[in-house]
A = this chain, B = another copy of it.
Amino acid sequence: MGNKTYHNEEALKAVVHSLASSHGTLDLCHLSRGNEPLPNQATIKEIVRLSREVIFPGFQGDTAVNSYNLEYTIGLKLERLQALLENQIVAGFAVDCRELDFDTLHSRVHEITDHFIALLPELRRVLHTDVEALYLGDPATTSPQEVVYCYPAVKAITNYRIAHALLQQGVPIIPRMISELAHSETGIDIHPGATIGESFAIDHGTGVVIGATAIIGNNVKLYQGVTLGALSFSRDTDGNPVKGVARHPIIGNNVIVYSNASILGRITIGDGAVIGGNIWVTTDVAPGERVVQSRFER
């Protein structure tokens, strides 16, 4: 505070000028055009928090929800959620840089937001199956309530299901920011493009990566450090990666994958298979099969 030095005033101004003037071919200076909002991590955070609050009322702790105020509370949170979501969806489209017809855009954004809000009760139903799977699958927990309060997977999967719903409506950037938020909080990195069934459980979770084209059945459980990744990807004749190719695994129902296993490429892990820890799987695994690491050396 009050640390105002003058000895280098001209040098400082020169750096200011340099940083303000040219931003290179990548154009990594994001200037707002007119009234457009910009994607904003703090707003995304609040969107996520509000979604969690209306889905799991009383579990965020900062609002004392009770029988008197439950409907009032959800009513106001939902209104704010809608407003912030509209703001950030517009921001997402703005980054996308396509020429936007303002009126078309706003009616499209209204549609997307309405769709999302209407989907919330169903999202809640599916998330309850995830919580139940986490509760039933861990001898260390004492109640479903403890799961909601303490399990990072609940945060990561909630963010995934929100982000996935938005991505399905064609929202750019924002779904990835939502999933990256969970990644930062929990170490679990689920691409919003992945398709994931009900009763999905991740234990501990740090280091889990689920790629954009992965498909996961019902009642699957992953441990920490599991990768469902790509083995390689095609490049076009300019050397750029070809977008949109299915390149991540398909995991069947009732599969368990133990810690630090890497499952790579568009392979299929059959229903009920068990993948042992610390291995690198790049070929199909049959239903019910169990694969483990080769023995270490003593």
Contact = CB atoms under 8 A, between A and B. Distances in A.
Contact of A76 (B55, B73, B114, B298): B73
B4 A32 contact: yes
A100 B158 CA distance: 32
A294 B292 contact: no
A82 B239 CA distance: 41
A211 B29 contact: no
Contacts of A297: 291-295
A60 B41 contact: yes
B34 A75 contact: no
Among A19, A29, A73, A142, residue most surrounded by chain B Cβ atoms (within 10 Å): A19
Interface string A68-96: 11111111101100110011000100011
Nearest to A256: B232
Interface string A21-44: 001101111111111111111110
A145 B95 contact: yes
Contacts of A42: 61-62
A284 to B, nearest CB: 12
B139 A243 contact: yes
Report the copy number of this chain in the oligomer.
6
Interface string A132-174: 1001111110111110111110000000000000000000110
Given A40-B61, A206-B206, A297-B292, A121 B18 contact: yes
Nearest to A208: B206
A209 interface: yes
A8 interface: yes
Given A8-B114, A32-B66, A206 B189 contact: yes
A72 B54 CA distance: 15
Given A28-B144, A294-B297, A69 B76 contact: yes
Contacts of A172: 142, 146
Contacts of A105: none
Given A28-B56, A61-B38, A128-B26, A139 B68 contact: no
B131 A150 contact: no
B211 A140 contact: yes
Contact of A280 (B183, B243, B293): B293
Interface in A172-193: 172-173, 176-177, 180, 183-187, 189, 191, 193
Contact of A6 (B67, B121, B240, B241): B67
Contacts of A72: 71-73, 75-76, 79
Q: Which 10 A-B pairs have the closest CB atoms?
A: A40-B61, A30-B58, A139-B241, A72-B75, A3-B83, A150-B176, A20-B71, A72-B72, A279-B296, A140-B212
